[in-house]
Amino acid sequence: MSMYFTKEHEWVKVEGNLGTVGISDHAAHELGDITFVELPKIGAVVKQFGVLGSIESVKAASDIFAPLSGNVVKVNDALELAPEAVNESAEGAGWMAQIEIANESELKNLMNQEQYNDYLKTL
Amino acid sequence: MDNQLQATPICGRHRALNALMAPFGGWDMPIQYEGIIAEHSWCRTSSSLFDICHMGEFIFQGDFEAGGLEDVFTFSVKTIPLGRSRYGFLLNEQGGIIDDLIVFRLAEDKVMIVVNAATAPKDFAAIKGRLRGGVFTDITAATGKLDLQGPLSRYVMVELLGEEVATIPYFKFITMNILGVEAIVSRTGYTGELGYEIFIPTEKVCELWDLLLTDERVKPAGLGARDVLRLEVGYSLYGSDIDEETTPLEAGLEGFVNFDTSFVGRDALLRLKDQGVTRKKVAFEVAGRRSPRHHYDLCSGGEVVGNVTSGVFSPMLGKGIGIGFIKPELTAIGTPLTISHERVSMEATVCELPFFKDGSVRA
C-alpha cells in the first residue's frame, strides 16, 4: 500500500484498484478547526485534479481536488456530523472518499511521501 | 514580515506561545493559540485573556460644550454619568460611520475615547477637526489594554486584583491601583460574556498579562475566537459590517443615535429616515454546518438581493450564522434566503439577534 500526494495537499492511498482520498495532516493543520466537509456523491465520476468536494474551517473555505480520475464508490459519511475527525486524523479516520481508479498511470503526476515532505519544506 | 506592522508589548509572549500571527488593523496580532473553537469554548465557560493593545485611546479634557465635543458623536457626552461609558458613532456628513466607539466619563471635564485600531488615525483627525477648544491627545502608545472575558472572570479579577472589582455593573468602570499604577477596569467587552476591559500604562501591561495567566481558569484567546464570540451575539465589526458607506439606520443601530443632540451627519440621517433606507441589516441561520462568508451573495427568488458582511460556523448553535445587508422588505423573521458564492449554495432563514442568547454578559 502506497500513499501519494498532490501539490494541493490531498493524499491517496492505493490498494488494488481502489484509492482512498483525504487531505494531508499539513493541510488540516493549516486550515485550523474544520467545521464542514462537502463529500462527493457515490457514483460521481471525477477527473484527476478536478473538484471532488470542499472543506470549510472557521478561517477559510477551500475545494478538495481528486488526486486521480475514477468513480466515487464510497464516502466517509461520519464527517457530515463530525468534521473535526479531519483535524484529529487527517491521514486516517478523516478520509473523505474512495475512488475506483480509472487510470493508474496518473500516479506519475503525484508525489510520494518523501517527495511531498521535501515539497512541504519549500512552502 | 511586513515592516509597516506595529507590535503590541505582548507580541513576544504570543510568539513564545506559538500563536498564529496575522496583520489586523495595521498590527501584528495573535489569531489563535491552541485553536479557535477551543478558545471560543473556554471563553463561554471559563475566562479568556485577549491582548487588545492595538485599539486606540484618546483623551479630551476641557469644556465639552465650548470645546465642541458635545457635537462630535451620535450621543451626548455631558450626560454620561461619572464612572460610566457610552457606545455610539462618529459619522461623516452623509451619516456614514467613520467609527464605532466607546466614551468613558473619567471626570467632570475629562473623557477617554476608545476606538478601533485600523481607524484610529482618521478618527483622531476627524474629532480634532470638529473641536473648538480643550486639550485632545492620542494616548494609544502609552496605554495597554487587556480584555478578560468569560463567566468566571469576576472571580479571577477579585482574587488577583481586588475586592472592588466585584460590584462593577455592566457599562460602568472604576479606577483602581493595579501593580502599583492607576488602571481603569470597565465592565464591557466584545464576547457576550461577563467580562472586563482593563486599561493600564503600557510599561505594566506584560506584567498584568502574566499575572492573569497565573490563574488556571484563564487562558489566552486570539482574534479568531473573538470574531466568533462577537458574531454569535450579533455585535458589528467595523470594516466588515459597518463602514463609511453604511449609516446606523441601515445597520439597525439607531438605538445608539440620539437625535436630540446635534452631531455631524444628523441632517443626513433625518433625511434618510424620512425617505426610508434601501437596504437593512439582516441576521440569518444556515440549515447546516456551512459558513456564510463576507461578500457571499444573499439571494431570493433567484435574484441577488443583498450580501453577507460577516459569517461563521457557530459552535454554540452547531450551524452557520451570519449577518448582511438586504432589501428592507426581506428582513422579516422567518424569510427564506439562499446564500450563494461560486459553487457554494446554502439555504438560510432570517432570524433575530443575538444568535446565542445565554451569555453571562449581564450576570
Q: Which 3 state secondary structure label does DSSP give B67?
A: coil
Which tens digits make up the pLDDT trace of B186-200? 999 999 999 999 999
User: How far is it, in rounded angstroms, from Cα B293 to Cα A26?
Assistant: 24
The count of C-alpha atoms lying within 13 angstroms of the C-alpha of B211, restricted to the half-sphere facing its C-beta, is 15
At residue B30 the predicted structure's pLDDT band, cuts being 50, 70 and 90, is: very high
Residue spans per domain, chain A: 2-101
Residues of chain B positioned with their CB less than 8 A from the CB of A63: 343
pLDDT of A29: 94
pLDDT of B1: 47
Q: Domains in chain B, please, with CATH?
A: 6-53+141-232 (3.30.1360.120), 56-138 (3.30.70.1400), 278-363 (2.40.30.110)
Which tens digits make up the pLDDT trace of B302-335? 999 999 999 999 999 999 999 999 999 999 999 9
Q: What is the mean pLDDT of residues B95-117?
A: 98
Residue B337 has pLDDT above 50, yes or no: yes
CB proximity A62 to B under 8 Å: no
Residue of A nearest to B344 (CA): A54
Per the prediction, chain B carries an average pLDDT of 97
Instruction: Name every residue whose Cβ is closer than 8 Å to that of residue B105 and which is 6 or more positions away in sequence.
Output: B77, B80, B81, B82, B83, B84, B85, B86, B111
Which tens digits make up the pLDDT trace of B49-97? 999 999 999 999 999 999 999 999 999 999 999 999 999 999 999 999 9
Best CA proximity match to A44, nearest among A73, A11, A79: A73
pLDDT of B331: 97
For residue B288 the three cell numbers come to: 447546516
CB proximity A78 to B under 8 Å: no
Tens place of pLDDT per residue across chain A (123 aa): 689 999 999 999 999 999 999 999 999 999 999 999 999 999 999 999 999 999 999 989 999 999 999 999 999 999 999 999 999 999 999 999 999 999 999 999 999 999 999 999 999
CB proximity B18 to A under 8 Å: no
Residue B347 has pLDDT above 80, yes or no: yes
Match 496580532 to its residue by C-alpha cell.
B29
Contact between A58 and B289 using a beta-carbon 8 Å cutoff: no
Name the residue facing B291 among A32, A51, A61 (closest C-beta).
A61
Rg over alpha carbons for chain A, rounded to the nearest Å, is 13
What DSSP state is assigned to residue B168? P
CB proximity A15 to B under 8 Å: no
pLDDT of B4: 84
Are the C-beta atoms of A5 and A24 separated by less than 8 Å? yes
Contact between A35 and B291 using a beta-carbon 8 Å cutoff: yes
At residue B153 the predicted structure's pLDDT band, cuts being 50, 70 and 90, is: very high
Mutation site, A30, A31, A34, A35, interface B, largest B CB count within 10 A: A35
pLDDT of B3: 60
Which tens digits make up the pLDDT trace of B127-151? 999 999 999 999 999 999 999 999 9
- For B333, other C-beta atoms within 10 Å of its C-beta total 10
Mutation site, A58, A64, A81, interface B, largest B CB count within 10 A: A58
The enclosing H or E element of B160 equals helix B153-161
Residues of chain B positioned with their CB less than 8 A from the CB of A36: 288-291, 313, 320
pLDDT of A2: 87
CB pairs under 8 A between A and B: 42
Q: How far is A2 from chain B (nearest CA, A)?
A: 31
Residue B121 has pLDDT above 90, yes or no: yes
The count of C-alpha atoms lying within 13 angstroms of the C-alpha of A82, restricted to the half-sphere facing its C-beta, is 10
pLDDT of A57: 96
Q: What is the mean pLDDT of residues B33-52?
A: 97
CB proximity B294 to A under 8 Å: no
Name the residue facing B35 among A32, A38, A83 (closest C-beta).
A32
For the domain bounded by A2-101, which CATH number is listed? 2.40.50.100
Which tens digits make up the pLDDT trace of B166-190? 999 999 999 999 999 999 999 999 9
